[in-house]
Structure 1
Amino acid sequence: MTTDERSGYHHVPHDEGGTAARTWWDAHAQEYLDEHGAFLGDAGFRWGPEGLTEAEAGLLGPVRGSDVLEVGAGAAHCSRWLQGRGARVVACDVAHAMLTAATTLDRRSGVRVPVVEADARELPFADGTFDVVFSSYGAIPFVPDAQRVHAEAARVLRPGGRWVFSVTHPVRWGFPDDPGTRGLTAHRSYFDRRPYVERDASGRVEYAEYHRTLGDHVREIAGAGLRLRDVVEPQWPTWNTQVWGGWGPLRGAKLPGTAVFVTTKD
């Protein structure tokens, strides 16, 4: 396969794209944590590369004494922070390697979080189990059928509960994934919903990341019977000089990089 055929914006069968996340994150868990672990903190809660913390934003509401589920939890950094504030937390992720790393961070931080290996589209929990379900950049970008993630979050929430999730800001899809000046000029349509795909030499899908417009996100939330309460677009703070993939201070001063959707189940 040529380089263009191995990576780029291509339609792929849903079953291939939707299962690639498990193997990709299993293979790259340690690399990701080596690069970003210090910024995230063993028991820290950031909503995205801008560095906005839950302590600053308070998007989950009061959590002390609440039952909380994190989906797409990675190594459970956010869950560990919440447990330290009196929440009863369970963290789930599709990648076994990430959950293995979570147990290492448990030992290092002294805060143990129960973990479950599970696909966010098929949560192994009873209806109405949690007061809060959340995800910081987990699950939704990596599946073609995010409506199933929303439906599962709604199902396991109790009435009045919150489902809060952060994703790459939809407007970024039209721009190159480049933290420099090249990343400031749109080069493709915001409305092109083909996923970004990487394949191995044999053509197998190794990685798939899916785009949804702002309207797509809103419709999927509404379709799950949830009520949208807020959309938070963190500004890039002056203290944050790090570059994280396509995120960085140059682009962050001009373009939104993260969108956090706050929803409730009535």
Structure 2
Amino acid sequence: MQEHELPEPEATRRDSGVTESSRANRGWWDRNADEYQVEHGTFLGDDRFVWCPEGLDEVEAELLGPAEDLKGRDVLEIGAGAAQCSRWLAAQGARPVALDLSYRQLQHALRIDELNSAAPFPLVQADAGALPFADASFDLACSAYGALPFVADPVLVLREVRRVLRPGGRFVFSVTHPLRWAFPDEPGPEGLSVSASYFDRTPYVEQDEQGRAVYVEHHRTVGDRVRDVVAGGFRLVDLVEPEWPEWNTQEWGGWSPLRGGLIPGTAIFVCERDERG
């Protein structure tokens, strides 16, 4: 091992609270943003709105509503990464704001904007559990695998999103399908046998030699997610489980055509803020 190389983190299952999870995942995404964009940037595109590794595109899905209805709408993207979804929203005439915990991910958003001479929109570095916006600032909110899989208190995030949405506003978010947690994170045949309890909510943690978390993911069952949505002040409109399409031959971590044809990999929750203040 070269002197400048860090030892591989230890993978374990243990409790991890709000502060530790936020700190660990901010550092992880800052360190790995470059590699992530190189590996997945072509699939994500510069200005596509892709909900998941299955490749479900908002153009076809219209989970935020028909594209023609997005014009003039204020939209918050949470966990925006390089803001590909926000760039697509802007092209439809929406007024997006792209928020991410990782400064390095937002630097990639700036890079793509400069490369494409794209019209700028706000990029905000902040924690999804403490949104730096006034009440009722947005018509819509969205999150494609952003924030929710990585936070210890998802209800806190949902309540913050509800606060910044206008009455009747829609929030759509995608996460790893809870069923996946019972299977190894492997794309091949070894990933088809149950290896853990679906009901074990203990977070997945990667930690350094001192036991400090450097990456954290939190597991919620389907029932947990539904209860979180309700506790956050939303009404669940739809739960979308995208099937693996024939055209998608790529592997993305534990996602693959083999596994995607047998078990769901993504769950997308379509929620609406109630009309009350």
Above 0.5 in TM-score?
yes
- Give the AA of the match of 1:265: R
**Identical aligned residues as a percent:** 56
1:42 aligns with 2:42: no
Given the two structures, how large is their TM-score scaled by the length of structure 1?
Answer: 0.97
Contact 2:9 2:209 survives alignment (8 Å): no
C-alpha offsets along residues 19-39 of structure 1, whole Å, 9 cap, x if unaligned? 211110000000000000000
Q: Provide the secondary structure at the position in 1 that maps to 2:124.
A: strand
For residue 206 of structure 1, what is the aligned residue in structure 2?
214
Say what the alpha-carbon RMSD is for the aligned residues. Answer: 1.4
1:238 aligns with 2:246: yes
CA distance in 1, matches of 2:114, 2:259: 37
C-alpha offsets along residues 96-144 of structure 1, whole Å, 9 cap, x if unaligned? 0011111001112232231001100000000001000110000011110
For residue 107 of structure 1, what is the aligned residue in structure 2?
114
For residue 95 of structure 2, what is the aligned residue in structure 1?
88
Contact 2:29 2:105 survives alignment (8 Å): yes
CA distance in 1, matches of 2:108, 2:146: 16
How many pairs are equivalent? 264
Q: How does 1:89-238 map to 2 (within 5 A)?
A: 89-111=96-118, 112-238=120-246
CA distance in 1, matches of 2:128, 2:21: 15
For residue 30 of structure 2, what is the aligned residue in structure 1?
26
Change in Cα spacing, 1:5 to 1:120, as seen in structure 2 (3 Å) is closer
- Give the AA of the match of 1:247: W
In the TM superposition, residue 12 of structure 1 has moved relative to its aligned partner by 3.0
Structure 1: which 5+ runs fail to align? none
Name which of 49, 54, 76 aligns with 2:83: 76
CA distance in 2, matches of 1:109, 1:257: 32
Contact 1:43 1:109 survives alignment (8 Å): no
Change in Cα spacing, 1:4 to 1:174, as seen in structure 2 (3 Å) is farther
Name which of 246, 249, 271 aligns with 1:263: 271
Q: Provide the secondary structure at the position in 1 that maps to 2:196.
A: coil
Change in Cα spacing, 1:139 to 1:5, as seen in structure 2 (3 Å) is closer
Deviation larger for 208-217 or 107-116: 107-116
- Give the AA of the match of 2:51: W
1:247 aligns with 2:255: yes
Name which of 52, 55, 62 aligns with 2:56: 52
Runs of 4+ in structure 1 deviating by more than 4 angstroms, as ranges, are none
Structure 2: which 5+ runs fail to align? 1-6
In the TM superposition, residue 234 of structure 1 has moved relative to its aligned partner by 0.4
In the TM superposition, residue 15 of structure 1 has moved relative to its aligned partner by 2.3
In the TM superposition, residue 6 of structure 1 has moved relative to its aligned partner by 2.0
Contact 1:67 1:130 survives alignment (8 Å): yes
Given the two structures, how large is their TM-score scaled by the length of structure 2?
Answer: 0.93
